[in-house]
Amino acid sequence: MRLSSLQKYIILQCLESKTARISRTRLNVKNKTKIITKSIERLIDKELLVGFGERTKYKWFIKDIKITKFGKKEAKKLLGEQLKLKFKKIKK
């Protein structure tokens, strides 16, 4: 999956967080809120993140974000970590 460097940064910040939800204010850098908002909305569309906030008829007002299981897998690929396979025990 192709991701921009900002989207990679957002996903890695979510993965490194100790809490489940991350506030948007943690991601705001140098008044680039419009760019960050678009990146978050695109990550939500790709089902890598879940957004919490309010939605009006025309616009999203995202206050918090949370990474999904699929997002965690993608973030671990970005880090270069090998995922553990879950083996099932066969009972005889």
CATH code of residue 66: 1.10.10.10
By the 10 Å C-beta count (0-12 exposed, 13-18 middle, 19+ buried), 17 is classed as: middle
Across the chain, what does the average pLDDT equal?
87
90 lies in some domain? no
86 lies in some domain? no
The pLDDT-based confidence of 51 (bands split at 50, 70, 90) is: very high
91 lies in some domain? no
34 lies in some domain? yes
29 lies in some domain? yes
Q: What's the domain range around 70? A: 5-79
Q: State the Cα–Cα distance between residues 35 and 30, nearest whole angstrom.
A: 11
Q: What's the pTM?
A: 0.80
Among 16, 12, 13, residue whose Cα is nearest residue 24? 13
Question: With 70 as the cut, is the pLDDT of residue 45 above it?
Answer: yes
44 lies in some domain? yes
Tokens 């970005």 belong to residue? 78
13 lies in some domain? yes
* Structural domain count, the chain: 1
Q: State the Cα–Cα distance between residues 52 and 13, nearest whole angstrom.
A: 17
What is the average pLDDT across 42-67? 92
